[in-house]
Chains A and B, each alone.
Chain A
């Protein structure tokens, strides 16, 4: 079974692109499945099931979503194998942009959309930096020039990835994506493997449920903002 991580900011078009892309693979007789990681709520599993794609949903709730992902992905892969899948896609929202669910040895995809603006690639971080394939959506409604600037900005952050433009509504470009998913490494080891980017190191009182504000309540690893003093003459 191939395992592919699919990550991108909320509403960037991950689900729409996947529905179009996986349809190509289904038509060719591939058995595909989805595990959707989210924080609080997700209805996407219904959309996948309606398309005949077995889907799991994992809600991290009170837990750090990235810790939740990495402590559960093995169980999800086992579920996928039990379903007899050829390909399992793990879809997760970008959450705080600090982390990335990408795993060494497994194909890693990042989805961004043009409407988020040309500064977005510089704000996304490891989810984009460590991806093998970058898909940019919603290109049909922005100018050619903005698409080219966007691609350039992506390149400035990730020089190695394949960069493709996909339309989740019409499916333009989804065939190419399906070829790349189909060429993903098969049966790469997961247990004992490594994340491409470490999850946060901080554990502070707020991680453990503290809600009160004030220095007296700040325990553990805390990082302070640096504010430059204004120069008064």
Chain B
């Protein structure tokens, strides 16, 4: 019971350390919607038109302030529309303010994972530090604790998850704010189960994502994502292709390119990149070029040997940290050559060809 109370209170304690307590005395009241009226937002911002249109409200016309516009509406409208002036002020302020809170991504220099304990409660052996551009692979059988490890990073564990690990950002524990809001999280996730559910052409979808980031040059950002995705996917697709018609490989490639170039999150967790029509090595390069920290749960030899480190996870703990040896790196290059050959065979099958030449011809002399 006493431990419980400490956990509950520590959330709030860190909260109030960052922000002054409000007048209600209880730090928990920060959690609640405050009823204080927002300042009347600017009514000259062109996005006000978008807000009015979305809410099916009459147009801004020549009014310079929200109050003038509101008072110009008919009595019937003001009584029956479901709006009152305070609600309008809140609504418009939220709408205009959304960009400010979502725009910039968190930057970080180091991500540190302090050791916890394994499933039997024995201490883990390694503290780990990751830097932007690091690719780290996680290996281990199902149930070994890979998801727990990724989960600890996702929720920025502070010794309060079953593994007892502690995650530090730039050497500091994260502010409670970032632990208890989705936007404060530093992690983007790509898993095998993910799909696009939106029914939009690729370009419109990317535009929507770019808008939510309030980027200075959304058009060029979109272009970059599209080009990167096509380079990874092998099979080309265009800006007009509907998301729902992309092949498995194409949509995976688009997700990866989008996470690399458009997502503000500095850490990317990936649960296996399937072989199906995605240039996996190029995908990793995009993340590295963008300075992301990539944590990749994989058993693909090519990917596993491409990481700067691989963590062997067993019985709920990191049991071993392997850095590739010179021989492993040489072997990786050969595996990559093998992979390219397989890709060519795949391409020929796609084109309707037979693979019926003698083995040596089919795979070439240089096969290792």
Pick the contact of A152: B80, B98, B190 (CB < 8 A): B98
* Cβ A184 vs Cβ B28 within 8 A: yes
Q: Using CB atoms, name the residue of chain B closest to A163.
A: B182
Instruction: Evaluate whether A175 and B28 lie within 8 angstroms (CB atoms) in the complex, with A29-B4, A108-B33, A162-B181 already known.
Output: no
Given contact pairs A114-B197, A148-B263, A176 touches B31 in the complex (Cβ within 8 A): no
The size bracket of the interface on A is 35 or more
Known: A159-B94, A165-B182. A145 touches B197 (CB 8 A): no
Asked if B179 and A176 sit within 8 Å, CB to CB, the answer is: yes
Pick from A117, A132, A158: contact of B31, CB under 8 Å: A132
Known contacts A105-B32, A129-B91, A159-B98; A172 and B151 CB within 8 A of each other: yes
Q: Answer yes or no: B138 CB below 8 A from chain A CBs.
A: no
Considering the complex, give the chain A residue whose CB is closest to the CB of B34. A160
| Contact status of A141 and B183, CB under 8 A, knowing A152-B102, A182-B8 | no
Would you give the shortest CB distance from B293 to chain A, in whole angstroms?
Answer: 15
What A residues does B196 contact at CB under 8 A?
Answer: 142-143, 146
Q: What CA separation (Å) do A176 and B177 show in the bound complex? A: 11
Q: Does B11 contact A (CB under 8 A)?
A: yes
Q: Please determine whether A157 and B94 come into contact, CB atoms closer than 8 angstroms.
A: yes
Q: Which residues of B contact A144 (CB under 8 A)?
A: 188-190, 194, 255, 258-259, 263, 265
Q: Which residue of A lies closest to B80 (CB)?
A: A223
- The stretch of B122-130, B163-171, B205-213 in contact with A is B205-213
Partner of B12, one of A98, A158, A183: A183
B104 at the interface (CB under 8 A from A): no
The answer to whether B209 touches A148, judged by C-beta atoms less than 8 angstroms apart, is yes
Cβ of B73 within 8 Å of any chain A Cβ, yes or no, is no
Contact A183/B28 with A144-B190, A145-B258, A152-B212 known, Cβ cut-off 8 Å: yes
Chain B residues contacting A223 (CB-CB under 8 Å) are: 80
Residues in B neighbouring A132, C-beta threshold 8 A: 31-33
On whether A185 and B28 interact (CB within 8 A), knowing A141-B195, A148-B209, the answer reads yes
Contact B183 A163 (CB under 8 A): yes
Interface residues of A in 115-146 (CB under 8 A from B): 115, 117-118, 122, 129-133, 136, 140-146
Cβ of B85 < 8 Å from any Cβ of A?
no
In the complex, chain A residues whose CB is within 8 Å of the CB of B197: 114-115, 117, 141-142, 146
- Which of B11, B155, B259 meets A173, CB within 8 Å? B155
| A159 with B80: CB separation less than 8 A | no
Report the minimum CB–CB distance from B215 to chain A (whole Å).
Answer: 12
Neighbouring B residues of A136 by C-beta, 8 Å: 182
Question: What is the minimal beta-carbon distance from B2 to any residue of chain A, in angstroms?
Answer: 10
11 contacts between A and B (CB under 8 A): A104-B35, A129-B94, A143-B195, A148-B102, A156-B95, A158-B94, A163-B183, A172-B154, A175-B161, A182-B11, A183-B8
